[in-house]
A and B are shown apart, each in its own frame.
Chain A
Amino acid sequence: MKQPASEARQGGPDAPATPDPTPSSAASDASAKSTEEKKGWRALGLRLDVRNLSLLGVLAALIVVGGITKPDQFLDTNNLQLVLTQASVIGVVTVGMTFVITSGGIDLSVGAIVALASVWATTLATQEFGFAGILFTAVLVGLGCGLVNGVLIAYGGMVPFIATLAMLASARGLALMITDGKTQIVTVTSVLDLGVPDSYVLGIPPLVLVFAAVTVVGWLILNRTTFGRRTIAVGGNPEAARLAGIDVRRQRLYLYLFSGLCCGIAAFLLIILAGSGQNTNGNLYELDAIAAAIIGGTLLSGGRGTIIGSVLGVLVFTTITNIFALNNLQSDVQQIAKGAIIVAAVLVQRRTLRNGEV
């Protein structure tokens, strides 16, 4: 991973969004200049910044590696569909997680909520209500768990780490209680049909469409709404946000509800993908989602978040898994590589940020 790292490092200071590394005396000039340079991007309505660039570099390098080692299998439409499909479930979860982390919180219960929602939505009783029943149940269970998390954290004064850890344990337990450890096969054909090629819209799997929609909506909410702005304010300085008249507690409640909603949607996608519900679903999603958000450039301490970065983070992980599987490398090597990528991406990011804007 040395190649992309050095590329990104050199690319960093030339990037349009990077202000001059001048100390505060000349800060006004520097930021004024960078503003002018940024206008091109703003016209596009997009603000790609340094963090995203370094991760794009990593992704580009991975694509080169995949293209060289397995040109036939890697560079084809089927594989693109495959990678994006596999990224959708965890991707949707990561969008929710990005909001929570941006607000200075953490949600360790996402994997367990996905498991609970996916088994609750696939019981024989739920399946009798067909497509709507499954979708409705998955989303509602997600929202319900998010509500509990949110109330405990915002109004119960619990630390997010502890509250969501408790939710992790209870949701997993409840999922096991519902399934009795059995795999719940889905027989509702309208749900199953969404997972097979016949349902692709212009070659795009429905799961990927949902993922894309959640990403776009997430991006808009974070960057274009009062909700997003309040999320960033609460994460950046909760005391200042409170004294500025923001209802910090209500905002926190909504954030965990949102994360729960994302988990519910992800559970529905997983039901389509796996054609079943199982209490072991969503295993370690919390770690994958946190890792993707962090390498994407969202600050673990809150106050800064990027949906684009998080999605790139998810794609990097999914692409690694894909390349390794295509080359028939085993899980041990995959896990080591994943750890190395996390370290490398964060190091590159810190470097470019330090060169750029502290």
Chain B
Amino acid sequence: MPETSRRGLLFGTAAVSAGVLLTACTSNEPKEAAATDTGPVASDDKPGKAVTIGFAGPQADHGWLNAINDQAKSRAKKYSDVTLDITEGSNDIAAQIGQVETLINKKVDVLVILPADGKALTQVGLKAMRAGIPVINLDRIFSNPQAFRAYIGGDNYGMGVSAGNYIGQKLKGKKDAKVIELAGIDGLELTQQRSKGFDDALKNYPNIKKVARQAADFTVESGQAKMAQLLQAQSSFDALWNHDDDQGVGALRAIQQAGRDDFLMVGGAGAKAAMDAIKADNSVLKATVLYPPTMAASAIDLARTLGQSKGISGLAELEIPAQVTLYSAVVDKDNVDQYLPTGFR
């Protein structure tokens, strides 16, 4: 069958060359690589005692979590006295417990843990503490305060409150103002907390009514789909709060596709794309409420300070505090330049 084999050869050649071409296309390196900016380092940044910090986080399958890893890594790099032992991220609870146990066995000086699930990782946190390794619990809190030396994390309820208050201020004096909400994954507690904070804040503004809410699932695809439906359902409204800037990319796309610009949009989390849009001021996106991934950098700072047995400057305390809950600042056109370096991609 010479015909068949020639056809086969042609096909094979095409496949191989296509493969080579394709492989070259996986690169995501931008022309000028911008290093992640983690802000000013701690004031007391004179090299001290060498500290090994173990870091265990979930799988970075989402922009924000990826930013967490970046923040931790680049922060640690800034200190000559810090060695960072970072594990492969995992969403599997059992796998993450195993990773933490490995870090304990390696006798790292301090542990930073962003658990896949706070409750499920509490036991291994306790184990580390009992082994004499102080634990910094990042964002998703353990169910037992004894399982961490210090907790640092965001405030989901406060995020909703900030968004509600910002929108309330912007719509002040407007009669019968209508607001809609594009929430994140409904099955997550943090989504419920954000929505509750948002609703509670809106109660301060009797002229505003929330007329619709749909839940997307933190993906661009779902953001586009749900936003398109919301826009069709509500022919006019005044403001939109979107919980997450990643799904916001899709929401903005839907808004663009529907040709709508009759409202103001507030985002959530603080992605760089969102901040760029706020700075450019050419879309409905006017502000975003932070849920800052810089908390990972702060966690490294705390870990280093703990490892070197120091306190935090700026506080009268000799010891670092047990819990730090971050404030969800609102970034809008006025202050965007200040926050832009912390925006994540």
Residues of B within 8 A of A52 (CB): none
* Stretch of B115-123, B155-163, B212-220 lying at the A interface: B212-220
Name which residue of chain B comes closest to A282, CB basis: B221
Establish whether residues A124 and B28, one from each chain, have CB atoms under 8 Å apart when the complex forms: yes
Residues of B within 8 A of A70 (CB): 233
Chain B proximity of A180: nearest CB distance (Å): 6
Establish whether residues B232 and A276, one from each chain, have CB atoms under 8 Å apart when the complex forms: no
Number of residues from A at the complex interface, CB < 8 A: 53
* Stretch of B16-24, B92-100, B307-315 lying at the A interface: B16-24
Residue in A78, A197, A278 whose CB lies within 8 Å of B221: A278
Judge if B253 is at the interface, Cβ distance under 8 Å.
Answer: yes
Judge if A140 is at the interface, Cβ distance under 8 Å.
Answer: yes
A150 to B226, CA, bound (A): 35
Judge if A246 is at the interface, Cβ distance under 8 Å.
Answer: no
Judge if B26 is at the interface, Cβ distance under 8 Å.
Answer: yes
A-contacting residues, B17-71, CB 8 Å: 18-19, 22, 24-30, 59-63, 65-66
Known: A123-B26, A180-B28, A196-B256. A78 touches B232 (CB 8 A): yes
Establish whether residues A126 and B25, one from each chain, have CB atoms under 8 Å apart when the complex forms: yes
Establish whether residues A124 and B273, one from each chain, have CB atoms under 8 Å apart when the complex forms: no
Bits for A164-181, please: 1 = Cβ < 8 Å to B, else 0: 000000000000101111
Residue in B24, B62, B226, B235 whose CB lies within 8 Å of A325: B226
A86 to B273, CA, bound (A): 24
Known: A120-B22, A181-B65, A273-B253. A325 touches B218 (CB 8 A): no
Name which residue of chain B comes closest to A278, CB basis: B220
Judge if B342 is at the interface, Cβ distance under 8 Å.
Answer: no
Establish whether residues A180 and B60, one from each chain, have CB atoms under 8 Å apart when the complex forms: yes
Name which residue of chain A comes closest to B250, CB basis: A274
Residues of A within 8 A of B337 (CB): none
Judge if A270 is at the interface, Cβ distance under 8 Å.
Answer: yes
A70 to B234, CA, bound (A): 11
Chain B proximity of A231: nearest CB distance (Å): 21
Establish whether residues B66 and A182, one from each chain, have CB atoms under 8 Å apart when the complex forms: yes
Establish whether residues B25 and A133, one from each chain, have CB atoms under 8 Å apart when the complex forms: yes
A353 to B62, CA, bound (A): 46
A-contacting residues, B76-108, CB 8 Å: none
* Best-surrounded residue of A72, A73, A141, A280 (most CB of chain B within 10 A): A280
Known: A86-B228, A181-B65. A137 touches B22 (CB 8 A): yes
Give me 20 A-to-B residue pairs in the complex whose CB atoms sit less than 8 angstroms apart, sorted by A's number: A70-B233, A86-B229, A120-B22, A121-B25, A137-B22, A144-B18, A181-B59, A182-B66, A197-B259, A273-B221, A275-B253, A276-B253, A280-B218, A280-B220, A283-B221, A325-B229, A325-B230, A325-B232, A326-B233, A331-B186
Extra pairs beyond A182-B66, A197-B259 (12, CB < 8 Å)? A72-B235, A86-B225, A141-B22, A147-B15, A181-B59, A182-B345, A270-B221, A273-B224, A281-B221, A325-B230, A325-B232, A330-B215
> Top 5 A-B pairs ranked by shortest CB distance?
A325-B229, A181-B66, A125-B27, A126-B25, A275-B253
